[in-house]
Amino acid sequence: MAKRPAVNRRIDKDAGEGFWDRPVMMNLLADLLFLIGGALLAWSGAVALQNLPAFPLQQVVVATPVEQVSRAQIEHTARTVLTGNFFTVNLDASRAAFERMPWVRSASLRRLWPDGVELSIEEHRAAARWTPQDGESRLVNGRGEVFLANTEDLLPRLIGPEGSAPRVLERYRAFSEALAATGRKPVLVRLSAREAWQVKLDDGVVLELGRDQAKHPLAERLDRYATNHAAASAAVAGRLPAIGTVDLRYPNGFALRPKVSGQS
Protein backbone atom coordinates (compact mmCIF):
# COMPACT_ATOMS: atom_id res chain seq x y z
CA MET A 1 0.00 0.00 0.00
CA ALA A 2 1.50 3.38 -1.11
CA LYS A 3 2.16 5.90 1.64
CA ARG A 4 0.48 9.27 1.31
CA PRO A 5 2.87 12.15 1.26
CA ALA A 6 3.01 14.20 4.43
CA VAL A 7 1.36 17.58 4.25
CA ASN A 8 3.04 20.36 6.18
CA ARG A 9 0.45 22.68 7.53
CA ARG A 10 1.42 26.06 8.94
CA ILE A 11 -0.77 27.36 11.68
CA ASP A 12 -1.02 31.17 11.68
CA LYS A 13 -1.51 32.21 15.29
CA ASP A 14 -2.97 35.59 14.26
CA ALA A 15 -5.44 34.07 11.81
CA GLY A 16 -8.97 34.95 12.76
CA GLU A 17 -7.92 37.48 15.42
CA GLY A 18 -9.45 41.00 15.04
CA PHE A 19 -8.89 44.34 16.74
CA TRP A 20 -10.86 43.34 19.79
CA ASP A 21 -8.52 40.42 20.31
CA ARG A 22 -5.47 42.70 20.58
CA PRO A 23 -5.19 44.08 24.12
CA VAL A 24 -2.20 46.31 23.33
CA MET A 25 -4.05 48.17 20.58
CA MET A 26 -7.13 48.51 22.73
CA ASN A 27 -5.07 50.01 25.56
CA LEU A 28 -3.45 52.52 23.20
CA LEU A 29 -6.84 53.56 21.87
CA ALA A 30 -8.22 53.89 25.37
CA ASP A 31 -5.29 56.11 26.40
CA LEU A 32 -5.76 58.29 23.33
CA LEU A 33 -9.48 58.70 23.96
CA PHE A 34 -8.74 59.51 27.59
CA LEU A 35 -6.29 62.27 26.59
CA ILE A 36 -8.72 63.74 24.07
CA GLY A 37 -11.52 63.64 26.59
CA GLY A 38 -9.35 65.31 29.23
CA ALA A 39 -8.35 68.09 26.84
CA LEU A 40 -11.96 68.71 25.83
CA LEU A 41 -13.01 68.74 29.46
CA ALA A 42 -10.29 71.26 30.36
CA TRP A 43 -11.24 73.47 27.43
CA SER A 44 -14.93 73.40 28.27
CA GLY A 45 -14.09 74.11 31.90
CA ALA A 46 -12.00 77.13 30.94
CA VAL A 47 -14.79 78.47 28.73
CA ALA A 48 -17.34 77.90 31.47
CA LEU A 49 -15.09 79.59 34.04
CA GLN A 50 -14.65 82.62 31.81
CA ASN A 51 -18.40 82.98 31.39
CA LEU A 52 -19.30 82.38 35.00
CA PRO A 53 -21.15 85.25 36.64
CA ALA A 54 -18.99 84.71 39.71
CA PHE A 55 -16.12 87.16 40.35
CA PRO A 56 -17.00 89.65 37.58
CA LEU A 57 -14.77 92.67 37.11
CA GLN A 58 -16.53 95.71 38.53
CA GLN A 59 -13.90 98.42 38.81
CA VAL A 60 -10.64 99.80 37.45
CA VAL A 61 -8.64 101.75 40.02
CA VAL A 62 -6.12 104.23 38.56
CA ALA A 63 -3.32 104.27 41.11
CA THR A 64 -1.24 107.08 39.59
CA PRO A 65 -2.19 110.69 38.81
CA VAL A 66 -2.59 111.41 35.10
CA GLU A 67 -2.60 114.75 33.32
CA GLN A 68 -2.71 114.03 29.61
CA VAL A 69 -4.72 110.79 29.50
CA SER A 70 -8.42 111.42 29.98
CA ARG A 71 -10.86 109.40 32.02
CA ALA A 72 -12.90 108.74 28.87
CA GLN A 73 -9.85 107.19 27.16
CA ILE A 74 -9.18 104.91 30.12
CA GLU A 75 -12.82 103.83 30.34
CA HIS A 76 -13.04 103.10 26.62
CA THR A 77 -9.88 100.98 26.66
CA ALA A 78 -10.97 99.17 29.81
CA ARG A 79 -14.35 98.23 28.33
CA THR A 80 -12.62 96.97 25.19
CA VAL A 81 -9.84 94.83 26.63
CA LEU A 82 -10.78 93.84 30.18
CA THR A 83 -12.81 90.72 29.33
CA GLY A 84 -13.49 87.67 31.47
CA ASN A 85 -13.64 87.72 35.24
CA PHE A 86 -11.23 88.35 38.08
CA PHE A 87 -9.30 85.12 37.44
CA THR A 88 -9.33 84.91 33.65
CA VAL A 89 -8.69 88.50 32.54
CA ASN A 90 -5.52 88.69 30.40
CA LEU A 91 -3.41 91.31 32.13
CA ASP A 92 -0.55 91.23 29.61
CA ALA A 93 -2.80 91.88 26.61
CA SER A 94 -4.66 94.56 28.55
CA ARG A 95 -1.42 96.29 29.54
CA ALA A 96 -0.30 96.40 25.89
CA ALA A 97 -3.62 98.01 24.93
CA PHE A 98 -3.27 100.73 27.56
CA GLU A 99 0.29 101.43 26.38
CA ARG A 100 -1.02 102.14 22.89
CA MET A 101 -2.98 105.12 24.15
CA PRO A 102 -1.55 108.57 23.35
CA TRP A 103 0.78 110.01 26.02
CA VAL A 104 1.23 106.63 27.77
CA ARG A 105 4.89 105.67 28.08
CA SER A 106 4.26 102.54 30.14
CA ALA A 107 1.41 100.86 32.01
CA SER A 108 1.07 98.07 34.54
CA LEU A 109 -1.94 96.11 35.80
CA ARG A 110 -2.55 93.91 38.81
CA ARG A 111 -5.61 92.16 40.18
CA LEU A 112 -7.36 93.94 43.01
CA TRP A 113 -9.38 91.51 45.13
CA PRO A 114 -12.20 90.73 44.81
CA ASP A 115 -13.59 92.41 41.70
CA GLY A 116 -11.16 94.88 40.17
CA VAL A 117 -7.82 95.67 38.62
CA GLU A 118 -5.37 98.38 39.56
CA LEU A 119 -3.90 100.41 36.71
CA SER A 120 -0.66 102.38 36.97
CA ILE A 121 0.30 104.72 34.11
CA GLU A 122 3.55 106.56 33.41
CA GLU A 123 2.92 109.43 31.03
CA HIS A 124 5.32 111.00 28.58
CA ARG A 125 6.55 114.47 29.53
CA ALA A 126 7.00 116.44 26.35
CA ALA A 127 10.31 118.30 26.19
CA ALA A 128 10.18 119.47 22.58
CA ARG A 129 8.55 119.02 19.20
CA TRP A 130 10.45 116.64 16.97
CA THR A 131 10.50 116.97 13.20
CA PRO A 132 12.63 114.45 11.29
CA GLN A 133 13.97 115.63 7.97
CA ASP A 134 11.66 113.17 6.24
CA GLY A 135 8.57 112.35 8.26
CA GLU A 136 5.68 113.63 10.31
CA SER A 137 6.02 115.94 13.28
CA ARG A 138 5.92 114.28 16.68
CA LEU A 139 6.95 114.99 20.26
CA VAL A 140 10.03 113.96 22.20
CA ASN A 141 10.12 113.41 25.95
CA GLY A 142 12.87 114.19 28.40
CA ARG A 143 14.53 110.82 27.75
CA GLY A 144 14.84 111.52 24.06
CA GLU A 145 12.04 109.11 23.17
CA VAL A 146 9.84 110.13 20.26
CA PHE A 147 6.08 109.62 20.58
CA LEU A 148 2.93 110.64 18.73
CA ALA A 149 0.55 112.98 20.55
CA ASN A 150 -0.92 116.47 20.34
CA THR A 151 -0.34 119.44 22.59
CA GLU A 152 -0.92 123.18 22.50
CA ASP A 153 2.07 123.90 24.77
CA LEU A 154 4.81 126.18 23.50
CA LEU A 155 7.77 123.84 23.03
CA PRO A 156 11.12 124.22 21.29
CA ARG A 157 11.49 122.52 17.90
CA LEU A 158 14.16 119.93 17.21
CA ILE A 159 14.95 118.89 13.64
CA GLY A 160 17.32 116.18 12.49
CA PRO A 161 17.72 112.85 10.72
CA GLU A 162 15.49 109.99 11.84
CA GLY A 163 16.84 108.41 15.01
CA SER A 164 18.87 111.46 16.10
CA ALA A 165 16.32 112.87 18.57
CA PRO A 166 18.33 111.97 21.71
CA ARG A 167 21.45 113.69 20.32
CA VAL A 168 19.58 116.82 19.28
CA LEU A 169 17.80 117.04 22.64
CA GLU A 170 21.13 116.72 24.46
CA ARG A 171 22.59 119.52 22.33
CA TYR A 172 19.53 121.68 22.92
CA ARG A 173 20.14 121.45 26.66
CA ALA A 174 23.83 122.23 26.28
CA PHE A 175 23.09 125.20 24.00
CA SER A 176 20.48 126.53 26.42
CA GLU A 177 22.98 126.46 29.28
CA ALA A 178 25.71 128.10 27.21
CA LEU A 179 23.40 130.91 26.05
CA ALA A 180 21.83 131.61 29.43
CA ALA A 181 24.27 134.48 30.04
CA THR A 182 22.97 136.29 26.95
CA GLY A 183 19.41 136.32 28.21
CA ARG A 184 18.30 134.42 25.12
CA LYS A 185 17.20 130.82 24.72
CA PRO A 186 16.95 128.45 21.75
CA VAL A 187 13.55 127.89 20.18
CA LEU A 188 14.85 125.67 17.37
CA VAL A 189 17.86 123.37 17.02
CA ARG A 190 18.59 121.77 13.66
CA LEU A 191 21.04 119.00 12.77
CA SER A 192 21.57 118.58 9.04
CA ALA A 193 22.33 115.36 7.23
CA ARG A 194 25.93 116.61 6.95
CA GLU A 195 26.19 116.98 10.76
CA ALA A 196 26.01 120.78 10.73
CA TRP A 197 24.26 122.50 13.62
CA GLN A 198 22.00 125.56 13.53
CA VAL A 199 20.27 127.32 16.43
CA LYS A 200 17.45 129.84 16.28
CA LEU A 201 16.99 132.07 19.32
CA ASP A 202 13.78 133.46 20.78
CA ASP A 203 14.54 136.92 19.31
CA GLY A 204 14.73 135.46 15.79
CA VAL A 205 18.54 135.48 15.47
CA VAL A 206 19.97 132.37 13.79
CA LEU A 207 23.31 130.96 14.93
CA GLU A 208 25.20 129.01 12.27
CA LEU A 209 27.47 126.69 14.24
CA GLY A 210 28.59 124.26 11.53
CA ARG A 211 30.09 120.87 12.34
CA ASP A 212 31.51 119.89 15.68
CA GLN A 213 35.31 119.63 15.40
CA ALA A 214 37.96 118.50 17.83
CA LYS A 215 40.05 121.66 17.30
CA HIS A 216 37.07 124.00 17.37
CA PRO A 217 34.23 122.37 19.36
CA LEU A 218 30.73 123.80 19.40
CA ALA A 219 30.96 124.67 23.09
CA GLU A 220 33.98 126.91 22.41
CA ARG A 221 32.17 128.76 19.63
CA LEU A 222 29.10 129.37 21.78
CA ASP A 223 31.22 130.57 24.70
CA ARG A 224 32.90 133.07 22.36
CA TYR A 225 29.53 134.32 21.20
CA ALA A 226 28.08 134.53 24.71
CA THR A 227 31.11 136.49 25.92
CA ASN A 228 31.25 138.97 23.03
CA HIS A 229 27.75 139.23 21.61
CA ALA A 230 26.78 142.32 23.63
CA ALA A 231 29.86 144.26 22.58
CA ALA A 232 29.53 143.12 18.97
CA SER A 233 25.86 144.07 18.85
CA ALA A 234 26.64 147.53 20.24
CA ALA A 235 29.43 147.99 17.71
CA VAL A 236 27.14 147.43 14.74
CA ALA A 237 24.18 149.28 16.23
CA GLY A 238 22.95 151.82 13.71
CA ARG A 239 24.91 150.16 10.92
CA LEU A 240 22.63 147.13 10.59
CA PRO A 241 18.83 147.40 10.81
CA ALA A 242 18.76 144.23 12.83
CA ILE A 243 20.98 141.19 13.24
CA GLY A 244 19.53 138.18 11.47
CA THR A 245 22.35 135.62 11.41
CA VAL A 246 25.52 135.06 13.41
CA ASP A 247 28.06 132.87 11.60
CA LEU A 248 30.14 131.07 14.24
CA ARG A 249 31.98 128.77 11.85
CA TYR A 250 35.14 130.87 12.00
CA PRO A 251 37.99 129.55 14.19
CA ASN A 252 38.72 132.84 15.97
CA GLY A 253 35.60 134.98 15.67
CA PHE A 254 32.15 135.33 14.21
CA ALA A 255 30.36 137.34 11.57
CA LEU A 256 27.09 139.26 11.91
CA ARG A 257 24.66 139.47 9.03
CA PRO A 258 21.55 141.65 8.80
CA LYS A 259 18.08 140.22 8.93
CA VAL A 260 16.71 139.59 5.47
CA SER A 261 13.17 140.36 4.43
CA GLY A 262 10.75 137.70 5.63
CA GLN A 263 13.08 136.34 8.34
CA SER A 264 11.28 136.12 11.65
Taken in order 166, 168, 171, 176, the sign of the CA dihedral is negative
Residue 78 resides in a domain:
yes
At residue 11, the pLDDT reads 45
Domain holding 144, by residue range, is 126-258
At residue 147, the pLDDT reads 95
Residue 7 resides in a domain:
no
At residue 109, the pLDDT reads 96
Question: What is the C-alpha separation between 238 and 127, in angstroms, rounded?
Answer: 38
Run means of pLDDT, 10 residues per run, the chain, 264 residues = 51 52 70 76 63 77 95 95 90 96 96 94 97 85 95 95 95 96 94 96 95 91 89 73 88 83 61
At residue 112, the pLDDT reads 93
Regarding pTM above 0.85, the answer is no
Residues 91 and 186 placed together within one structural domain of the fold: no
Residue 34 resides in a domain:
no
Residue 252 resides in a domain:
yes
Residue 18 resides in a domain:
no
Residue type, 248: L
How many domains is the chain built from? Answer: 2
